Chain A
């Protein structure tokens, strides 16, 4: 049973427009959420995180929104750039319980079209 779900395997967006990547989770004990970006033949790279005490966290062009009641988070990239083309993984943990274990979704492949 997948606890972190990324239901869109792929997404295509025009350069300059907004990219919205979605993630749902089922484990109500998750209290810390992250997004990682992965280029081919490289390991995942940390992008942005959010604690469950917040509903929004922003870092430059990247914003993560958390809706705890819906058990849903999203990553917004504005404006999208061709270099953003990668696979994006959503991950979650029970950090408040001291757990270091990240549970990842299957990823969404973003293609930004010039």
Chain B
């Protein structure tokens, strides 16, 4: 079974530029998560989708961050414009979504560097 796929794996941009990350969850997983992981920290939830619906986006900085999950499968996370402090690893995870105790399976992440 294929795991969670993310691309690109690495991205270097200059500040004020836009950037987008793509995630393909495990087939059949209804719930998709985007996490932010700063250096030396644990992952922090940005947004959670159940199918196409963003059911928890309370921690997403909506002035510059946006996300979508069209057709309830792939998802894109966008930052516009990027700031120096956005340098981090952006992780996507998915779970079957049937219960809160369902295991969350993480992708390898996208490491963003903002210069």
Contact = CB atoms under 8 A, between A and B. Distances in A.
Interface string A48-60: 0101000000000
Contact of A43 (B4, B40, B56, B99): B4
Interface string A24-54: 0000000010001000011111100101000
B45 A44 contact: no
A95 B104 contact: no
A81 interface: no
B43 interface: yes
Query: Is chain B's binding surface mostly helix, strand, loop or mixed?
Result: loop
6 contacts: A4-B42, A42-B108, A42-B109, A43-B108, A101-B45, A106-B42
Contact of B103 (A43, A46, A96, A104): A46
B91 interface: yes
A32 to B, nearest CB: 6
Interface in B25-82: 31, 33, 40-45, 48, 56
A99 B100 contact: yes
A106 B41 contact: yes
The 6 A-B pairs with the shortest beta carbon distances in the complex, nearest first, are A104-B42, A43-B106, A95-B100, A46-B103, A44-B106, A95-B101
A49 to B, nearest CB: 7
A74 B19 CA distance: 39
Contacts of B45: 101-102
B95 to A, nearest CB: 8
A93 B100 contact: yes
Contacts of B106: 36, 43-45
